[in-house]
Amino acid sequence: MVFGLVYHSQAQKHYDYNWAFGYGRSVPNDTNFFGGFLMNFNDNLIKFFPQPRTFDIEVQTNSYSNDNGEFLYLSNGCSLRDKFSNNLKGADTIGFSRGWRINCPNSSNNVQSGLFIPTDDSTVNYIYLVVDTIGLRLKYKYLLSAKIYIPTDSLIYKDRLIIQDTLYHGLHAIPAIDANNWWIICPQYNVNKIWTFLITGDGVIQKMENVIGNVNDSLSWGAGQGFFSPDGRHYALYSPNSGLQVFDFDRLSGTLNNFRYFKIIYSNNVLGGCSFSPDSRFVYVCNPTEVLQIDLHESDSTKAIDTVGVFDNFFEPYPTTYLQMALGPDCRIYISTYGGNRYLHVIMYPNNKGKACQLINRGLKLPSRNSFAIPNNPHYRVDDPYPCDSTIAIHLNVGTQDQEEGVYRSSDLMIYPIPAEDLLHLQILRNHSSESEVFIYDIQGRMVLHQCYFSLNDEQTIDVSRLYSGIYFIMVRDRTGKRWMERFVKR
């Protein structure tokens, strides 16, 4: 089914009209759901194009197009690639620290750690974070820059140091009042400090420390996202472990003020995401099992928060829980899932209050599996009359769970007790004699247990005593491919 939005006039096409996705290094087809592809917003319809690659995109994905929407460059946080996925001249790697070799040059596991910043018609800057130490709660990072010469697809420089510190997720950018300059924002963790940097085509010309807000928790505990609002007036930083912080932002001076806090905490050591609505009124945040809308026009903070979506226990093959968000150039918000699934959740009308925003679980089906990633793009159209093009249509995935995947309802699977302590009992409440596999996944989609049974007609017992406290998902799959799913709490 094709849906388009028509309530605003078309905005100018810009640099974020191609999104790079794809888990694996082949080309996806009807039988192979691994490999690279581009999600393209040109021609008023979302389309997908295969893209052969010899590297992975896992957590970090950046792409850059010219002002006509023609795809030029992409990065997975480890290297800079041209439109054919080849290394740029002199850019086989970006970053030089002790940490990058753990995952690079094939993929990066840094959250929201790169940005393409246009300078003029012949060059573009790439701003990126590189981890220096591994396994420590305090992770030193370098904030670096590279500069690409577009006519020859080559680097003018790379690894130019902007700052070295204990930096946090939330790297984002927006044009300054002088449209030739950009503000880069990057929080610091374990303190209440947020850096802003004024950057020109020649590099950073101003650094500013904003000591404001709450202490930012460690990246490895409750990592989330940070974004400027499309109108450039606010900055929001969310972590499920520490809540939502919202600040007013001055595009002239680069300062933050008017701090507001929303205690939206999900303390099971998980990731989450956030995004602004196109009109900058609402902030959306998610933890793995729910999506919330926060109305910044509501003065009573207890009335400002509304639940607009919940996870529906769908696996493909991993739980399609909510992960991170991105506002598309089509005025919709897209939400990635935990690793290895072929879906993005879609908020169709994010300017609408409450459930009228219409969150559609798995609203967009992808040609390839995606591993966590969602693009991190600046708000390029901050001074345009409207920051996105609402005329772009989307082929919505409207198949039901049972029709599409042959999944039985979770009510057919009995599990108890909930919460569980040492033992979990399960049984399929229908005539079922097939051999079956039982999988248990944690809230981050990682498989923590796998067992096989000749039949689940009779009650079976699983030892879960070694699992940490928290929320888990259980999936039963028989030899015919039928599946049953449910969630439970381990105490």
Q: What is the DSSP string of 115-135?
A: EEEE-SSSEEEEEEEEE--SS
Mean pLDDT computed over 311-315: 86
Q: Are 171 and 228 in contact (CB under 8 A)?
A: no
Mean pLDDT computed over 52-58: 86
Which residues are within 8 A (CB) of 136 and not within 5 positions of it... i.e. 6 or more apart? none
Question: Which residues of the chain are in CATH 2.60.40.3080 domains?
Answer: 409-490
CA distances from 419 to 26, 191, 196, 318 (A): 42, 36, 45, 22
Mean pLDDT computed over 350-358: 95
Which DSSP state fits 92? S
Report the chain's mean pLDDT, rounded to a whole number.
84
Which residues are within 8 A (CB) of 467 and not within 5 positions of it... i.e. 6 or more apart? 440, 442, 448, 449, 490
Question: Which residues of the chain are in CATH 2.130.10 domains?
Answer: 2-403
Residue 2, pLDDT > 60, answer: no
Higher-pLDDT residue of 332 and 178 is 332
Coil, helix or strand at residue 317: coil
Output the pLDDT for position 400: 42
Residue 435, pLDDT > 90, answer: no
Instruction: Quote the percentage of the chain above a pLDDT of 70.
Output: 86
Higher-pLDDT residue of 425 and 115 is 115
Q: Which fold has domain 409-490?
A: Immunoglobulin-like (2.60.40)
Pairing verdict, β 234-239 and 225-228: antiparallel
Confidence grade of residue 399 (pLDDT, cut at 50, 70, 90): low
Q: Are 200 and 177 in contact (CB under 8 A)?
A: no
Output the pLDDT for position 124: 94
Residue 398, pLDDT > 80, answer: no
Q: Are 51 and 37 in contact (CB under 8 A)?
A: yes
Name the region of 465 (left: φ>0; alpha: ψ -120 to 50; beta: rest).
Answer: alpha
CATH 1.10.357 is the classification of domain 2-403: no
Q: From CA 73, how far away is CA 83, in angstroms rounded?
A: 5
Residue 116, pLDDT > 50, answer: yes
Query: Could you tell me the two tokens for 274?
Result: 């956030």
pLDDT one-digit tens code per residue, 450-485: 988 877 767 788 999 988 888 888 888 887 777 787
Confidence grade of residue 102 (pLDDT, cut at 50, 70, 90): low
Q: Which segments of 104-250 are extended strands (E)?
A: 114-118, 123-131, 141-149, 154-165, 172-175, 182-188, 193-200, 203-211, 225-228, 234-239, 243-249
Output the pLDDT for position 325: 95
CA distances from 162 to 7, 144, 154, 167 (A): 41, 5, 21, 12
Residue 403, pLDDT > 70, answer: no
Output the pLDDT for position 133: 54
Among 2-11, 172-181, 311-320, name the most confident range: 172-181
Confidence grade of residue 10 (pLDDT, cut at 50, 70, 90): very low
Confidence grade of residue 40 (pLDDT, cut at 50, 70, 90): very high
Output the pLDDT for position 286: 94
Higher-pLDDT residue of 425 and 483 is 425
CA distances from 227 to 36, 249, 273, 405 (A): 26, 11, 10, 35
Q: From CA 395, how far away is CA 374, in angstroms rounded?
A: 19
Confidence grade of residue 328 (pLDDT, cut at 50, 70, 90): very high
pLDDT one-digit tens code per residue, 248-284: 999 999 999 999 999 998 866 678 899 999 999 999 9
Coil, helix or strand at residue 381: coil
Enumerate the β-bridge partners of residue 294. Answer: 283, 305
CA distances from 449 to 183, 337, 350, 462 (A): 46, 20, 38, 10
Residue 123, pLDDT > 80, answer: yes
Higher-pLDDT residue of 96 and 112 is 112
Output the pLDDT for position 217: 72
Which DSSP state fits 100? G
Higher-pLDDT residue of 178 and 163 is 163
Among 61-65, 382-386, 417-421, name the most confident range: 61-65
Q: From CA 308, how far away is CA 350, in angstroms rounded?
A: 10
Residue 9, pLDDT > 50, answer: no
Instruction: Quote the percentage of the chain above a pLDDT of 90.
Output: 44
Output the pLDDT for position 455: 73
Higher-pLDDT residue of 194 and 442 is 194
Query: Could you tell me the two tokens for 172?
Result: 């984002």
pLDDT one-digit tens code per residue, 222-258: 578 999 999 999 999 998 888 999 999 999 999 999 9
Q: How many residues does the chain have?
A: 491
Q: For residue 424, which of 410, 413, 411 has the smallest C-alpha distance?
A: 413
Output the pLDDT for position 221: 47
Output the pLDDT for position 402: 41
Output the pLDDT for position 95: 65
Higher-pLDDT residue of 76 and 218 is 76
The dihedral through the CA atoms of 338, 339, 342, 346 has a sign that is: positive
Radius of gyration of the chain (CA): 22
Q: From CA 337, how far away is CA 480, in angstroms rounded?
A: 26
CA distances from 313 to 288, 446, 478, 486 (A): 11, 15, 18, 6
Residue whose token pair is 């096989």: 452
